[in-house]
Amino acid sequence: MPDGKPAGIPCIQLDEDYRCKLFGKPERPAFCGGLQPDLEMCGDQQQARTYAINWLNALELATLPD
């Protein structure tokens, strides 16, 4: 997405299962590779997927344009 991804809009590089189609490829944006999971974003191992999705949704809402 040349001009960035608007908040609330899924990345155009996600497949139907919300997995990155560019993962491991050189054309993957540096920003995406720099977003590394950690305890703050993912929670503990049992809740990681749900917790991370909720964390990312909160980040999206916090960065919505006025």
Q: Are residues 45 and 17 in the same domain?
A: no
Q: Provide the token pair at 3.
A: 């001009």
Q: Are residues 45 and 18 in the same domain?
A: no
Instruction: Give the model confidence (pLDDT) of 1-44 as tens digits.
Output: 777 788 778 889 999 988 899 999 999 988 888 888 788 888 77
Distance CA(20)–CA(16), nearest Å, equals: 10
Q: Are residues 25 and 47 in the same domain?
A: no
44 DSSP 8-state letter = S
Give the pLDDT of residue 36.
Answer: 82
Strand-pairing partners, residue 56, are none
Q: Are residues 2 and 18 in the same domain?
A: yes
Number of independent structural domains in the chain: 2
Q: Are residues 31 and 44 in the same domain?
A: no
**Phi, psi of 14, deg, nearest 5:** -90, 140
Amino acid identity of 65? P
